[in-house]
Chains A and B, each alone.
Chain A
Amino acid sequence: MSFIQKFAVRNVGRNRRRSLLAVISVTLSIMLIVFLQGMIGGFLDNLVHNYTKNETGHIRIATKEFEERAKFFPVTDNISNPNEIIKLIKQDENIQKYIKSISQRIVFGVLLSHDGNNKQTIAYAGDPEQEKELLMLNKSLLPGGRYIQNEDEAIVGKKLAEDLNYRIGDEIPVMTRGSDYALHLKKFKIVGLFETGLSMYDEMIFQLPLAGAQELLRMLGQAQQIVIMLKNYHNSDVIAQMITEKLSDYDVQVSPWTKIGVYANYVKMANSIYNWIYIVIAFLGAFIIANIMMMVVLERRKEIGIIKSMGFTNGQVLTMFMNEGMLLGFVGSVVGSLIGLGIVTILHFHGIDFSGMMESINFPMSNVIYLRLNLLSIVIAILLGTVTSTIVSFFPSRRAEKMKIVDSLKSV
């Protein structure tokens, strides 16, 4: 530790109550930042998790024609050889090690009618076993029902069933246009109702087995899309590029979730906005340091004169006071981060229940949000608190630097 740093440490301990006040101010702001980072991270993770598992996967493989009209769920632009593509991907160890699951899926819109009620719905068809890792509707089944076992069975969202007056055991007549552009009808027996807590899914979707849907849509051996889930969704852009190169001979498009739909942009925008909010909070917390440092500089005018008369340069005076501000900021940031980390850790495992709020929100987010535990964000919060405290200390320190010795020595 240099002499100036040692001097700064001693000076911070000079008026403990005042220093404590400064530290508490930074502690509170950094604690808030760490908590917000955890909560916003938790929200975004949850959004990404639900959005990708239900809609896009972390990576989606489909035909170019499908991607162009994806929002209409076309069943006419399909991958003709999905099993071959999946096999090829699974054979590549460099890609396979990043993959959690890979499965075929068909999603299509259908108008259901029952007891005189009509409702626009979306059918999700996939391999029932694979979908246990994706849609995971088997985990949200209500008592009295069971998961899909045969190709003519379906499970239906609870609100959708209520709207159309469906019960377990009823048959859903699904009539839609197939890949051959002709109308086809197939009945599926409801074997279970699910309630995910995501209103947009509970009132709009029902799940079918892939084989049943392929038969209905005349898509035997074909898939509308191949959905890949990764072990870490942050790698999706890189892995998508690797798969694109691998499938260069096939007429398909490989898209990471970040390039599909609007939610990826929401996530990017939210991250950017909240980063600015964190900086503003950090400055608000550090602002009290600026006030305290100003008091300190005025109180120690004479001392500034003495050390300058001894040969302390203006730069050394500036550094000394900025060191004091930085030290207060650093201590506050460390304490705030540790407290924040404690809160985030608890809520990472126990979660916060937003059931009441989520009911009316049509967004792919769960009722219970588990805060994101990220040690890097703790390091960033400590840096942010320390840097902002140092910056706000600059102006009082500059005042000390500019003081004339003769005036300083005259002060009482």
Chain B
Amino acid sequence: MPLLELQGVIKNYTKGDQIIPALRGIDLIIEKGDFLSIVGPSGSGKSTLLNIIGCIDTPTKGKVLYNGNDLTALSDKEKTYYRKENISFIFQSYNLIPVLTTRENVELPLIIEKKFTKKEIHEKAMKIIQIVGLADMADRFPRELSGGQEQRVAIARALVKNPLVVLADEPTANLDSEMSEDIISVMQKMNEERHTTFIFSTHDRLVEKHAKRVIILRDGKIAKDERKNNGNTE
């Protein structure tokens, strides 16, 4: 059974009387451990697709199956639970909570989960902060960090609860190439070690280069679905 399956997903937005189609019928299967990059020009529907997979937006038509369960049929409460248990987001503009330190930002998803003791939360957070190379910055607030460091914190925050799926919307858009390479390698490491499924929406060639699978979206449709094997295109 695939981890995620999208069946005929259509998403329309309305602006006044006008209907703007964002996704025009997406059929897609995502397996556990995929390192998938969704590319395409602005307005092609990349972010909308991520939002629908992450259950923060609902399709106008079609189904999204997660381990065979239809996400579109869930209540708001069930969607919140689904996100809490399975999904993590990484945003283009990092979106750290400014009043929380690096450690507290990373601890936040674990606190929300309410599964661990304070000590366990602290240990798990520090471990992942160490992996992203920010152990010295644990007590600093986001305003005291560089853009690259902030994105590392965002990655640590996304990975700390060991999610099955990480949805990353333009994670390297605000970073220089050296920093982007660095960030991607962290995510690759997590993908290899923990078999976390990464789904990127990106314009960045670098991300595309490292992805195991690339989907090209154009005008709300999948124009190409390309799976790579050891750097070679299938």
Q: Which residues of A contact B91 (CB under 8 A)?
A: 306, 409
Q: Using a CB-CB cutoff of 8 Å, which residues 136-168 of chain A contact chain B? A: none
Query: Does chain B have a CB within 8 A of A314?
Result: yes
In the complex, the answer to whether A313 meets B100 with C-beta atoms within 8 Å is no
Which residue on B lies nearest to A10, using beta carbons?
B99
Known: A3-B111, A309-B83, A310-B112. A11 touches B89 (CB 8 A): no
Question: Which of B74-82, B145-153, B192-200, B211-219 is near enough to bind chain A?
Answer: B74-82
Q: CB < 8 Å: which of A7, A302, A309 contacts B56?
A: A309
Chain A residues within 8 Å of B51, by CB? 406
Contact-residue size bin, chain B (C-beta under 8 Å from the other chain): 20 to 34
Whether a CB of chain A sits under 8 angstroms from the CB of B109 is: yes
Judged by a CB distance under 8 angstroms, whether B33 is at the interface is: no
Any B CB within 8 A of the CB of A405: yes
Of all chain B residues, the one with the shortest Cβ separation from A405 is: B56
Q: Pick the contact of A311 from B57, B80, B100 — CB < 8 Å?
A: B80
* A312 vs B108: C-alpha distance when bound (angstroms): 10
Residue of B nearest to A313 (CB): B80
Shortest B155–chain A CB gap in Å is: 14
Q: Find out whether the CB atom of B84 lies under 8 angstroms from the CB atom of A310.
A: yes
B170 to chain A, nearest CB (A): 12
Closest to B96 in A: A306
In the complex, are the beta carbons of A311 and B99 less than 8 A apart?
Answer: no
Residues on B with beta carbons closer than 8 Å to the beta carbon of A14? 98-99
B-contact bits for A278-307, CB 8 A (1 contact / 0 none): 000000000000000000000000110111
Within 8 A of A (CB), among B120-160: none
Q: B81 contacts A311, CB within 8 Å?
A: yes
Any B CB within 8 A of the CB of A308: yes
Assembly CA distance A334 to B89 (angstroms): 41
Complex interface: chain B residues within 8 A of A306 (CB): 89, 91, 95, 97
Could you tell me the distance in whole angstroms from the C-beta of B83 to the nearest C-beta in chain A? Answer: 5
- Decide: B57 and A308 in contact? CB cutoff 8 A: no
Within the complex, what minimum Cβ distance (angstroms) separates A112 from chain B? Answer: 79
Contact present for B95 and A302 (CB under 8 Å): yes
> A14-B99, A409-B91 are contacts. A313–B77 as well, Cβ < 8 Å?
yes
CB distance from B87 to the nearest CB of A (A): 8
Cβ < 8 Å to A, chain B residues 97-115:
97-100, 108-109, 111-113
- Confirm or deny: B220 has a beta carbon within 8 angstroms of a beta carbon on chain A: no
Is B109 in contact with A311, judged by CB distance below 8 angstroms? yes
Name the residue among A302, A305, A306, A311 with the largest chain B CB count within 10 angstroms.
A311
**In the complex, what residues of B have CB within 8 A of residue A7's CB?**
99-100
By beta carbon, the residue of chain B nearest A408 is: B56
How many Å from the CB of A308 to the closest CB on chain B? 7
Contact status A309-B99, CB under 8 Å: no
Contact A310 B109 (CB under 8 A): yes
Say whether B99 contacts A406, CB under 8 Å: no
Q: In the assembled complex, which residues on chain B have CB atoms less than 8 Å from the CB atom of A405?
A: 56-57
The verdict on B171 contacting chain A, using a C-beta distance below 8 Å, is no
Contact B113 A11 (CB under 8 A): no
Q: What residues on B are CB-neighbors of A314 within 8 Å?
A: 76, 80
Q: Does B54 have its Cβ within 8 Å of any Cβ on chain A?
A: yes
Q: What A residues does B87 contact at CB under 8 A?
A: 309
Q: Given the complex of chains A and B, what is the CA–CA distance between A207 and B150 in angstroms? A: 87
Could you mark each residue 304-327 of chain A with 1 if its beta carbon is under 8 Å from any beta carbon of chain B, else 0? 011111111110100000000000
Give A316 to B97 CA distance when docked, in angstroms: 16
Contact A312 B112 (CB under 8 A): yes
Of B51, B91, B98, B99, most A-chain CB atoms within 10 Å: B99
Q: Residue on A with the closest CB to B82?
A: A311
Q: Do B95 and A308 touch across chains, with their CB atoms under 8 A apart?
A: no
Q: Which residues of A contact B83 (CB under 8 A)?
A: 309-311
Question: What is the bound-complex CA distance between A229 and B80, given in angstroms?
Answer: 67
- 23 A-B contact pairs sorted by A residue (CB < 8 Å): A14-B98, A14-B99, A302-B95, A303-B97, A305-B56, A306-B89, A306-B95, A307-B108, A309-B54, A309-B83, A310-B88, A310-B108, A310-B109, A311-B80, A311-B85, A311-B112, A311-B113, A312-B112, A313-B80, A314-B76, A405-B56, A405-B57, A409-B91
Given A309-B87, A406-B51, 4 further pairs, Cβ under 8 A: A310-B108, A311-B85, A313-B80, A409-B95
4 closest A-B pairs by beta carbon, nearest first, are A311-B84, A10-B99, A405-B56, A406-B57
